[in-house]
């Protein structure tokens, strides 16, 4: 994720798209018990969750992770991106759908 951190530093405050460059913390609970703390990679314009993975495929676990973030926030759209030697792949995920 060094490349992402470099991009964060170069783009911060440049007047481009409003991206939350800090990871967004999300708390998960079930029946009043805290199940843990997770971090969304990026939130773009307060409208899109962007989760980045460094592998060549999307797993069901990755998709469920983004869906959980969407359900915990008021955000309706998620993007799951993978980076590998094959290039970049992006999957759009909508709240309530897989």
Whether the per-residue pLDDT at 6 is higher than 80: the answer is: no
Rounded to whole angstroms, how far apart are CA atoms 87 and 55? 10
Mean pLDDT is lowest, of 15-24, 34-43, 84-93, for 15-24
pLDDT at 67: 93
- Can you give the residue ranges of every domain in the chain? 2-94
Phi, psi of 15 (to 5 degrees): 75, 20
The mean per-residue pLDDT over the stretch 68-82 comes to 91
Q: What is the CATH number of domain 2-94?
A: 3.90.320.10
| pLDDT for 46 | 85
């Amino acid at each position: 994720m060094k490349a992402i951190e470099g991009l964060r530093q170069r783009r911060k405050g440049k007047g481009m798209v409003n991206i939350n460059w800090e990871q967004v913390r999300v708390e998960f609970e079930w029946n009043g018990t805290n199940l843990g703390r997770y971090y969304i990679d990026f939130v773009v314009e307060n409208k899109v969750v962007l989760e980045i993975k460094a592998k060549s495929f999307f797993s069901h676990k990755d998709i469920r992770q983004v869906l959980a973030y969407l359900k915990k926030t008021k955000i309706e759209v998620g993007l799951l991106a993978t980076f590998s030697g094959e290039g970049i792949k992006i999957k759009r995920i909508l709240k309530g759908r897989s």
